Amino acid sequence: MFDTVLVANRGEIAVRVIRTLRALGVRSVAVFSDADADARHVREADTAVRLGPAPASESYLSAERLLDAAARSGAQAVHPGYGFLAENAEFARACAEAGLVFIGPPASAIDLMGDKIRAKETVQAAGVPVVPGSSGSGLTDAQLADSAREIGMPVLLKPSAGGGGKGMRLVRDAALLADEIAAARREARSSFGDDTLLVERWIDRPRHIEIQVLADGHGNVIHLGERECSLQRRHQKIIEEAPSVLLDEATRASMGEAAVQAARSCGYAGAGTVEFIVPGKDPASYYFMEMNTRLQVEHPVTELITGIDLVEWQLRVAAGEELPYGQQDITLTGHAIEARVCAEDPSRGFLPSGGTVLALHEPQGDGVRTDSGLSEGTEVGSLYDPMLSKVIAYGPDRPTALRKLRAALAETVTLGVPTNAGFLRRLLAHPAVVSGELDTGLVEREAQDLVPQGVPAEVYEAAAALRAAALEPTGDGWRDPFSVPRGWRLGGTPAPLTHHLRVPGHDPVAHVAGEGPRTVEPGRVTVHVDGLTHTFHRAADWLGRDGDAWHVQDFDPVAASLTGAAHSGADALTAPMPGTVTVVKVSTGDRVAQGQSLLVVEAMKMEHVISAPHAGTVSELDVTAGSTVAMDQVLAVVIPDETPQEEEK
């Protein structure tokens, strides 16, 4: 076993790898960008090395700086985690050339399985069923369109390189093929530097099921069962579970053997995942989709039902050890489900969010595990992936695991940064999820019904209670009745107190505080509304409950009116998320048309185009390309054209 391992990653996966290194008595080395100098993974490692400025290209994606950090810290091996350079064959080769062990598969396997076209051809030759689609790489737009028509609509366009759903396009109308192929190429080129595409038959209402494989350098390959990953949004997994309710033992064994053959076909070693697309009505007709040559985000659910620490066996295999298990030794016990908590705001179309973590509670124990990179005071910015943590629940059966995970998400508190925790809790209670009737389009179809359309009245009541408590005079003795914030007046009947409040993304409200009892204590506030008691977590202007959170701000209607309607109405263009302005297409004084693209804001690998709400003139422009902006910050103001008066008849 190694003495020292460098973890070439950040956030929750870096903390996760460090935990196993500590358990094995192996010294851990963290790396960090300037933005992560105070991050949790830095504090938990035995030592840490600064890489450089915050952009990933100058830190976590710099092979040169990572190898230098390994040399300076005396590391013998590098664990890449996932993302960044985890599936970069050149980085794996660079590690070997530097005398370091890359804790992952051989570079040749990464190369082969990283090219979806070659991967399909290779596993097909090994007897693994693949989705009908185009053959050969380097196809022109016309050849791709011809292949699509031959397969029959609908079809799925996919980049040959990369993953994560980027560049994927579902095309149902052959007349749209040319435009969709061009758009898919642009996104693939931007994301992966390679615009090679393939086309596959689209399977309606498919299931996404993957098999965990484990291989050593002595010719042994086994599988550890499957994970159901069908609950996705924008082709990104958000809920994963093991095992899948869809598979019977015969299909599980057949898919597992297919995954083992796929791993053998590329000379695999270490932990990897073979992904299949499965028709929900015919699970025996499964098709190979791709192989992920790294540890998966959702690996904890497999660990919980097998009792095998996958990170430990990545390390042991990389150190030359032989697997002590045969396929007959692997048993799946109980059920585990994972939810990915991300910095995004469901109430604002799931746009990336950010901020400072003001209050944090992450459940652990009694069948619940949280893998996280967070701590109170963490600054969640727009430079890196939005996933903050993973909450995982285990039980003897699926209903128990579901209940535990819903309860754990209700306990999860991340005040200061909007997350999707409440949305995930509601999703897990959806009848189709409870019954196991899943498919990859379920979340997109049901998402809007799982997002509350307004702010509950008790949220405003809790915010009013906090403001009243802050105004209460302190100390004993006589109190001037005029200093007590309870609307006291000479007539004896208290005047109602009105608080002007605003939650971003919602209209301001004038909330009349109720007369019910209130309890304000450190970290919590309890109010009574319509005979019901509501308790919230609190920190500064933030309130949280059952995984949801609200940033309740004071709103001054007089100040808003004095700054002009433009700054509080439809004329102001505000940042939908914290991020960086990458493109500015107009100047002050320019006339613009309704819907015209004016600026682009980028955050967490997502671009958002800011368009003119109406025809008019740009009266204010408060940012330039490269400006860092906060959520709801005014970027520009467009004064609408005057509406011409109707001609007299």
Give the tens place of pLDDT for each residue, 169-186. Answer: 899 999 999 999 998 898
Same domain, 210 and 191: no
Find the CATH number of the domain harbouring 93: 3.40.50.20
| Three-class DSSP category at 254 | helix
Same domain, 230 and 118: yes
Same domain, 586 and 538: no
Same domain, 378 and 465: no
Write down the pLDDT at residue 475: 63
**pLDDT tens-digit profile of 67-82?**
999 999 999 999 999 9
Greater pLDDT, 306 or 490? 306
Same domain, 142 and 53: no
**468: part of which helix (H) or strand (E)?**
helix 457-471
Is residue 227 in some structural domain? Answer: yes
| Three-class DSSP category at 9 | coil
Q: What is the mean pLDDT of residues 15-36?
A: 98
Q: In sequence order, which residues have a C-beta less than 8 Å from that of residue 381 and are 6 or more positions away?
A: 35, 54, 354, 578
Same domain, 378 and 427: yes
Same domain, 314 and 427: no
Q: Give the C-alpha distances (Å, rounded to integers) separating 212 from 109, 274, 308.
A: 16, 7, 12
Q: Give yes or no for residue 104 having a pLDDT over 70.
A: yes
Same domain, 354 and 437: yes
| Three-class DSSP category at 383 | coil
Is residue 190 in some structural domain? Answer: yes
Is residue 649 in some structural domain? Answer: no
CB 393 within 8 A of CB 401: yes
State the number of CA atoms in the 13 A half-sphere of 219 facing the CB.
0
Same domain, 251 and 162: no
Report the C-alpha gap between 408 and 337 in whole angstroms.
11
Tokens, residue 76: 């013998």
User: Could you tell me how far CA 246 lies from the centroid of its own chain?
Assistant: 26
**584: part of which helix (H) or strand (E)?**
strand 579-584
Write down the pLDDT at residue 553: 94
Greater pLDDT, 215 or 162? 215
CB 310 within 8 A of CB 303: yes
CB 168 within 8 A of CB 155: no
Q: 241-245, 570-574, 620-624: lowest mean pLDDT where?
A: 570-574
Write down the pLDDT at residue 568: 44
87: amino acid identity, one letter: E
Is residue 327 in some structural domain? Answer: yes
**pLDDT tens-digit profile of 35-66?**
999 999 999 999 999 999 998 999 999 999 99
Provide the number of structural domains found in the chain.
Answer: 6
**598: part of which helix (H) or strand (E)?**
strand 597-603
Where does the pLDDT of residue 248 fall: very low under 50, low under 70, confident under 90, or very high at 90 and above? Answer: very high
Tokens, residue 364: 């652990």
Boundary of a domain, candidates 201, 236, 254 = 201
Boundary of a domain, candidates 506, 534, 554 = 554
Is residue 489 in some structural domain? Answer: no
Is residue 485 in some structural domain? Answer: no
Q: Give the C-alpha distances (Å, rounded to integers) separating 444 from 325, 349, 505, 512.
A: 40, 12, 21, 37
For CA atoms 57, 60, 64, 68, the dihedral sign is positive
Same domain, 118 and 242: yes
Is residue 648 in some structural domain? Answer: no
Q: Give the C-alpha distances (Å, rounded to integers) separating 263 from 90, 216, 253, 444.
A: 20, 11, 15, 32
For CA atoms 150, 152, 154, 155, the dihedral sign is negative
Where does the pLDDT of residue 493 fall: very low under 50, low under 70, confident under 90, or very high at 90 and above? Answer: low
> Residue 418 pairs with which residues in a beta bridge?
none
* Pairing of the two strands 532-539 and 524-529: antiparallel
Same domain, 98 and 226: no
CB 106 within 8 A of CB 96: no
Average pLDDT of the chain, as a whole number: 91
User: Long-range CB contacts (< 8 A, 24+ apart) of 278-283?
Assistant: 278/206, 278/207, 278/208, 278/209, 278/246, 279/203, 279/205, 279/206, 279/207, 280/205, 280/206, 280/207, 280/246, 280/438, 280/439, 283/207, 283/246, 283/247, 283/248, 283/251
Write down the pLDDT at residue 571: 78
Q: Give yes or no for residue 561 having a pLDDT over 80.
A: no
Find the CATH number of the domain harbouring 256: 3.30.470.20
Q: Give yes or no for residue 649 having a pLDDT over 70.
A: no
Write down the pLDDT at residue 92: 98
Same domain, 263 and 116: yes
* Pairing of the two strands 518-521 and 524-529: antiparallel
Greater pLDDT, 56 or 572? 56
**pLDDT tens-digit profile of 129-144?**
998 888 777 889 999 9
State the number of CA atoms in the 13 A half-sphere of 37 facing the CB.
5
Tell me the residue range of the domain where 590 lies.
Answer: 565-640
Tokens, residue 358: 């003001």
Find the CATH number of the domain harbouring 616: 2.40.50.100
Find the CATH number of the domain harbouring 156: 3.30.1490.20
Is residue 275 in some structural domain? Answer: yes
Of 572, 568, 647, nearest to 616 (Cα)? 572
Q: What is the mean pLDDT of residues 630-641?
A: 87
Residue 540: phi, psi to the nearest 5?
50, -125
Q: DSSP labels for 74-108?
A: T-SEEE--SSTTTT-HHHHHHHHHTT-EESSS-HH
CB 588 within 8 A of CB 624: no
Of 218, 362, 373, 208, nearest to 286 (Cα)? 208
- Classify residue 474 as exposed, middle or buried by CB count within 10 Å of its CB (0-12, 13-18, 19+): exposed
